[in-house]
């Protein structure tokens, strides 16, 4: 597949109205998911998070049944071109609106599916890990939006634009208190002895589905993952550092800027345990 595909409110289109509040204000939320043979991986977790994020923005989340119906139509409409696998981005916006920040008392949320090719990762990414750069861009605190995957992601855009060197896979984002928060496109975990820790996301950052899978899986193993305040010193001294998201799953971080980080088979073990589940 060489082009993006779009589905808006159950219809194949090539764009969206500029009056849509998602376009005008970033007034909406999104999820990015793997599509394999026409089936969304980890859909129950993605939908659960979608509902929670919509609720925080006071947007009525469309039903899972409606979204699945539209996804199946979308996939079947492109099936003749073998587009049944790839990446699906689902956006829910507050819908169309008049000029001004104030949302209408009642609105019909817009549902947008975008399909794109699955990224191709080099084998070395999974075998040896990846390098991160430390972002100059810092995350501001806004507890009301903390953890939500909302459409206003300008901080991430600026952070990713900093990287001009292909040796770096992603960036490491901190806040203005020098606390490590996340990767530009994923969540972060560190292992120190028997302790597993991840940055607290109560002030800023995005809580991804793979992060939740990590928390849930460790809980079944009797291990409590500590969501806490982390700093660069914790990352440098860790036995292992990993980043996670729903597309690449789990990757080891072997270097931060010019400093080599601890080598540990943790990422490989987690990939075997946290393989994407098809529902």
End-to-end C-alpha distance for the chain, whole angstroms: 24
- Nearest 10 degrees: Cα torsion 253, 257, 263, 267: 0
Spot the catalytic one: 70, 93, 182, 213: 182
Does 70 participate in catalysis according to the annotation? no
Other Cβ atoms less than 10 A from the Cβ of 126: the count is 17
Spot the catalytic one: 49, 149, 213, 244: 149
Q: How far apart are CA 74 and CA 24, in angstroms?
A: 25
Does 11 participate in catalysis according to the annotation? no
Give the helix/strand (H/E) hosting 67.
helix 64-77
Of 183, 140, 141, 180, the C-alpha closest to 160 is 183
Helices (H), 162-247: 209-220, 232-237
Of 151, 174, 170, 144, the C-alpha closest to 22 is 151
Which residues participate in catalysis according to the annotation?
32, 149, 182
């Amino acid at each position: 597949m060489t082009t993006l595909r779009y589905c808006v409110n159950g219809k194949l289109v090539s764009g969206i109205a500029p009056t849509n509040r998602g376009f005008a204000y970033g007034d909406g939320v999104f999820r990015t998911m793997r599509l394999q043979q026409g089936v969304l991986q980890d859909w129950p977790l993605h939908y659960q998070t979608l509902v929670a994020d919509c609720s925080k923005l006071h947007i009525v989340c469309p039903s899972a049944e409606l979204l699945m119906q539209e996804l199946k139509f979308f996939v079947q409409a492109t099936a003749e071109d073998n587009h049944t696998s790839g990446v699906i981005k689902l956006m829910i916006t507050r819908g169309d609106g008049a000029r001004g920040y104030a949302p209408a008392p009642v609105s019909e949320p817009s549902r947008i599916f975008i399909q794109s090719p699955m990224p191709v990762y080099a084998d070395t990414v999974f075998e040896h890990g990846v390098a991160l750069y430390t972002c100059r861009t810092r995350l501001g605190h806004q507890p009301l939006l903390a953890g939500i995957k909302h459409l206003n992601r300008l901080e991430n855009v600026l952070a990713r634009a900093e990287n001009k060197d292909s040796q770096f896979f992603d960036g490491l984002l901190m806040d203005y208190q020098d606390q490590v928060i996340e990767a530009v496109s994923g969540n972060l975990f560190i292992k120190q002895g028997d302790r597993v820790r991840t940055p607290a996301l109560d002030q800023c950052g995005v809580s991804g589905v793979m992060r939740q899978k990590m928390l849930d899986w460790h809980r079944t193993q009797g291990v409590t993952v500590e969501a806490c305040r982390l700093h660069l010193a914790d990352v440098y001294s860790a036995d292992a550092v990993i980043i996670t998201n729903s597309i690449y799953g789990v990757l080891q971080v072997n270097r931060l800027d010019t400093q080599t980080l601890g080598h540990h088979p943790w990422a490989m073990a987690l990939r075997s345990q946290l393989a994407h589940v098809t529902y």
